[in-house]
Structure 1
Amino acid sequence: MDLRLVIFDVDGTLVNSRAAIVHAMRAGFAAVGRDYPGDAACLRGVGLSVDVMFRALVPDAPDTELVALRSAYQQAYYDHRASLGSEAMAPFYDGARDALDRFRAQDTLLMAAATGKSLRGMQAMIADHGLEGYFQSVQTADHHPSKPHPSMIHQVLSDTGVDPARAVMVGDTSFDMQMGRAAGVATIGVSWGYHPAEALDADQIITDFAQLDAAVDALTGGHP
């Protein structure tokens, strides 16, 4: 079969985890006695691996402090999720679940995830949102260099056997778009995430999930 592939970022693309990330960031910085750098600065780094994100936020911090900051951030995030559940803490954006269901119904269209989340966090998100079996490949920050390195997409392409010309990366940050280009796949930027749409430099920008199907068809050669 002539398969096509849609690779999704998660935070800021499929689910709105803004409040949860800000909550955990504030807790992390408080735990190490650092001034909070502000919501905007922290959200600009969403999508990067946690270590890379914190190094960019506090470049003068020693490694021991960065380890403590990461640990406090992750623990606050996990505790928050345990209290609320992923569905309440990071709900789907409007239309996201319907789009996933439409794509899942197409026999020759596969889906994958490439996210800066940890594997533990991604597994919880899949379970809490009822997405078991939706993604043919799930790549997380645990086993890859940080975005925008193309390693995650290379692994997704290897797992699915889809030609890069028939694949597209969907994300909300410039890191997602740079990763897609580096891997040789088309890119779709969403306007509702953590980076402004004008900064994405994507092949196409969508402002609503209702526009995603046509964008995917245009960039992957349409239905076989």
Structure 2
Amino acid sequence: GERKDLPRKPNAAMVHFILDKMDLGTDECLFIGDSDVDVKTANNAGLKSVGVEWGFRPIQELIDANVTYTVSHPKEILDLLENDLAKNVV
């Protein structure tokens, strides 16, 4: 979605707005997307990014944007959540 009072991606303002509303830290979330703009948004917000290989852009675009992880199947996102974010649960 979009809000007139917040800048669009790749500006991190929307991400920080949502994190604040949900009372979450950047270490408790992954930003999932299929474009370099999604990866840049994650990087600007201080989040780890997950690039999906079934999106509309070539995977190399995500790699060039410094994506943290790439996945070729939705199940892999669950694995990342269990393995990566579990380290941050107290």
Mapped pair 1:141 → 2:6: no
Give the match's secondary structure for 1:148: coil
Q: Per-residue displacement from partner, 1:81-125 (whole Å, max 9, x unpaired)?
A: xxxxxxxxxxxxxxxxxxxxxxxxxxxxxxxxxxxxxxxxxxxxx
Is this contact kept in 1: 2:12–2:42, CA < 8 A? yes
Number of residues of Structure 1 aligned to a counterpart in Structure 2: 85
The question of whether the paired residues in 1 share the 8 Å contact of 2:27 and 2:88 is answered with no
Name the larger-Rg structure: 1
Moved more, 214-223 or 193-202: 214-223
Give ranges in structure 1 of 5+ residues lacking alignment. Answer: 1-139
Listed as ranges, the matches of 1:1-224 within 5 Å are 140-143=1-4, 144-201=6-63, 202-222=67-87, 224=89
Secondary structure, counterpart of 1:200 in structure 2: helix
Aligned-residue RMSD, C-alpha: 1.6
What percentage of aligned pairs have identical amino acids? 20
Q: Which runs of 5+ in 2 are unaligned?
A: none
Specify the SS of the correspondent of 2:57: coil
Counterpart-to-counterpart distance in 2, 1:212 and 1:165: 16
Provide the C-alpha distance between the structure 2 equivalents of 1:157 and 1:200, rounded to a whole number of angstroms: 23
Q: CA deviation at 1:195?
A: 1.4
Distance 1:181 1:218, change over 3 A: farther
Displacement of 1:209 after TM fit?
Answer: 0.6
For 1:184 and 1:217, locate their aligned partners in 2 and report how far apart those are by CA, in whole Å: 20
* TM-score, normalisation: structure 1: 0.36
TM-score normalised to structure 2 length? 0.83
Find runs of 4+ consecutive structure 1 residues off by over 3 angstroms: 221-224
Q: Distance in 1 between matches of 2:3 and 2:24?
A: 23
